[in-house]
Amino acid sequence: MLVIFAKLDIPARDRAEIEAIRRRHDALHGRVEPHFTLVFPFPGISVGEVLGHVQHIASEVERIPFKLANIAAVRDPMSPGAHLFFLPDDGAQQITDLHDRLYSGVLATRLHPTAVYLPHVTVGRFGTFEDAEAAAASQVAVDIGGVLTAITIGDFDGHRVEELHQVLLGDP
């Protein structure tokens, strides 16, 4: 299945902080870099069609500065599990707007009609919401600033993401 995401362009010390948390709490650590998922995994559309669509959208969107400033435990709507998210203050609306724009054209039918998008960086996955809440409570405050400079199209097999294409934002 294809997936579309934006990797974090952040200082090395902040990347190390995120990766240390992910090592403890995220089974996907080491399989994909910290990122904002923009379009969740989907089957049935060729990479070429998706690439053309992403290139068109990316050419019209400038780089997005963001600041991760909140920590939240969030229930997984598809399972009894939960996640630990770092959430942006600055940049949240621009990331949401990019997500919305990507779910148009060839991807319009891939958006679940009841889905509500919350821009986030996943730093933990848990079997229960209570475990995610405990992890959130044990975290010190987060204050990580960065920028999204590109959109990545990847192939996700359920375990690992293989990066196929990267498209720069604001690149005509």
Contact 73, 129 (CB under 8 A): yes
Give the residue ranges of the chain where pLDDT is below 70: 172
Model pTM?
0.93
Contact 69, 88 (CB under 8 A): yes
Closest by Cα among 38, 36, 60 to 171 = 60
CB count in 10 Å sphere of residue 90? 13
pLDDT tens-digit series, residues 31-70: 889 999 999 999 999 999 999 999 999 999 999 999 999 9
Rg (CA), the chain: 16
Identify the residue whose tokens are 């949401």.
96
> Residue 28 has what pLDDT?
80
DSSP letter for 172, please. Answer: -
Torsional sign, CA 152, 158, 160, 164: negative
Amino acid at 101: R
Report residue 163: phi and psi, to 5°.
-75, 125
* Domains of the chain (ranges, CATH numbers): 2-168 (3.90.1140.10)
* Strands laid side by side in the 82-88 sheet: 121-126, 82-88, 64-75, 144-148
Contact 64, 170 (CB under 8 A): no
Contact 18, 116 (CB under 8 A): no
Contact 39, 103 (CB under 8 A): yes
Torsional sign, CA 28, 33, 38, 40: negative
> Residue 140 has what pLDDT?
80
> Residue 172 has what pLDDT?
65
Contact 68, 36 (CB under 8 A): no
